[in-house]
Each structure stands twice: as C-alpha cells, then as structure tokens.
Amino acid sequence: MMLQLGQIAPDFEAETTQGPIRFHEWLGASWGVIFSHPKDYTPVCTTELGYTAKLKPEFDRRGVKVIGLSVDALDRHEGWNRDIEETQGTAVNFPMIADPDRKVATLYGMIHPEADPSVTVRTVYVIDPNKKIRLMLIYPPSTGRNFDEVLRVIDSLQTTDRHKVATPVNWKPGDRAIVLASMSDEDAKKQFPQGFHAEKPYLRWVDINQPG
C-alpha cells in the first residue's frame, strides 16, 4: 500500500552505521527525515549525503533527526562514507540504514513497479513528533535533491503547527503568513490580536513575527 500524508510512518528495526535501531524509539519526540539511496557509491547521492551532513547544525536547531537508507550492507556503507568525506569535505554524521533485503524500502514504498526492482527510488519523508508523515518527495535518479527546500518545508510545517496559519508561495521564515481559510474572522481576531489584513475575504494576511 502506498503511504500517504497524515499516516503514521511505519515502524521497523534495522542495522545502521550507528548501531541497531527501532525507528519510532530512535525518533523519540523529534521530527525526522528519512531519505533513500539506490545503492552505495552512486554519484548524485554522494553529493547529497555530503551536503546533508553539512546541514546537520540546521537540522539540530529545528529538532530534526536525519537518517539515510541504502539497499547495500553495512561494510559497503563504511567505505562509501570515507569517499563522501574525501570528496565532499564532510563525513556523514547521521545513521545510514543497511537494507540489503529491501525490507524497509518495501515498507516505505521506495521500490516502484516500473523502476529498476533492484534499487530504491530516491524518496524523502518528513515525519513529525507524532510519527505522522508530513511530506513526501520523490526524485528521478538524474536530479539531486534540494535539502534547502526540505529545511524550508520543515520551517513551514513547524510554523503552521505553532501559529495555526498557512504559508504562501516561496515562503521563508520572517515572511507574513495566511490565515487559515477554515477560520472565521471572529476566531481570527482572537487568534491574532495583532490584527490581519484581508486582501480578499478568502485571502487574509497576518504578520506572525509581530507580537500579538
């Protein structure tokens, strides 16, 4: 069954480069990002893993744990990690799941019927502290993933959860937000004592950075 937004991310046990884990227990009360790789020693994923490792302070600041997955075994992960540190300038500083039997890849729908059945597709899942899937991104093998965008979406998710708003196109932290369409004007006045601007009855802007 294909996973969908809002569903509980499947739990699993796995061996990783940082020891065995049970996924939900490992996540704890944190947000999580799990992203898959077809196999070790692939060029595009080498660049992605190095860049994600450089972003670890940004993920930490947001309370996000990152974990990767490849269908190869642990001993190959270790050799690949050395290559990543050499070529990308940063060692992989988060666990990598070894999934040679493709158990986790299958559980998360990372193997598509029309793709090469021997490898995973390059998927990203963002999971919230309630273990719910909040974002799914699927990339083709030839296109490197945009982890700055993953961070931006996490910022949006955490902001919208905190303030009960939506975020507009290309939103970044510090930009104004949108009052939820499902919220009445009366409820919006209570939620946002700093006020809001109704450009249209259905398009109401609020500055969540202004004290309310």
pLDDT of residue 103: 92
Evaluate if residue 42 carries a pLDDT over 80.
no
| 48 or 122, greater pLDDT | 48
CB 29 within 8 A of CB 101: no
Give me the pLDDT at residue 85, please.
87
pTM of the model: 0.91
CA distances from 16 to 21, 67, 69, 102, 180 (A): 7, 9, 9, 14, 41
Active site residues: 45
- Tell me: the pLDDT tens digits for 69-97? 988 777 777 778 888 888 999 999 999 99
Side-chain half-sphere exposure of 166, counting CA atoms within 13 A: 12
Residue 28: what pLDDT?
Answer: 97
Q: What is the pLDDT of residues 98-149, one digit of tens each?
A: 998 889 988 998 876 666 655 556 789 999 999 999 999 988 878 888 999 9
d(CA 207, CA 194): 8
